[in-house]
Amino acid sequence: MKAVHQHQLSDPSQWNASLAELPARQSEDGVIPAFFFAHGYPSVVFQSESAARRGLQSVGGPLHNFLKDFGPALMEKYRPKGIVVFSAHWESPSKEIKVTDYGDDQPLLYDYYGFPPEFYKARWHSNGSSELTQRVLACLKEAGMEASRTTRDEPRGRDGLVGPAPGLDHGVFIPFMLMFPEGNEKAFPDTCRSSLHGRLPGPGAKHPIRPSGRCSAPSRNLDPFGWRDHPHFRRFP
């Protein structure tokens, strides 16, 4: 994908031009690119005066508008059967990678604190797939990584309202509320850990998941969406 630079982020025509240049799939089961993108704060979905005062991403801002264009562009070009998400908000020092197997109507984990009450009323519907969970597990194990499934009976993080709980964290449901507002996308978060660096398939490597019509979408806050201009931002080498 052509890089979307900071100066382009206020111009939807430029980022849409970059999305249009994404390579097409060669067949129904052809490879889909992996996408790295910013998920943003909850305030990118919910109006918040306090977030606006603090300079955080907000409704109607560049990230909000980009994500609203990004999701439909992916669906139109690739029509993925499911989305495998590596969220930075599910990081563990354990050697074992956890892959969700939540079934239908996957729960949400409101893993943020100190926000207005409406931030904890977010709803985004998606159905899981045990078949795809098993496929992801098999691929990870084939690559030499320890991996296992986790169900909705197992807490995987701390919810801002109820404490330990299972669910898709805000690194998944916040961007997907904008990208896929009607829901129903199959999303399967995996744990991330620092030891994954250098162990995932590289640009020239054969990828075991993407040729099956699934989309890989790691998400995290990225500095081009306003962070670089924030007074508290600092780039580390």
**Sorting pLDDT into bands at 50, 70 and 90, what band is 118?**
confident
pTM score, whole prediction: 0.80
Chain-wide mean pLDDT for the chain? 77
The pLDDT, as a whole number, for residue 179 is 94
CATH superfamily, region 41-195: LigB-like (3.40.830.10)
The pLDDT, as a whole number, for residue 152 is 94
The pLDDT, as a whole number, for residue 70 is 94
The pLDDT, as a whole number, for residue 86 is 85
Instruction: Look at residues 62, 115, 13 and name the one whose alpha carbon lies nearest to residue 229.
Output: 62
What are the tens digits of pLDDT across the range 23-57?
Answer: 888 877 778 888 888 888 888 998 877 766 666 67
Ranking 51-55, 57-61, 87-91, 100-104 by mean pLDDT, the lowest is 51-55
What are the tens digits of pLDDT across the range 157-189?
Answer: 899 999 999 999 999 999 999 999 988 655 556
What's the whole-number mean pLDDT along residues 215-225?
50
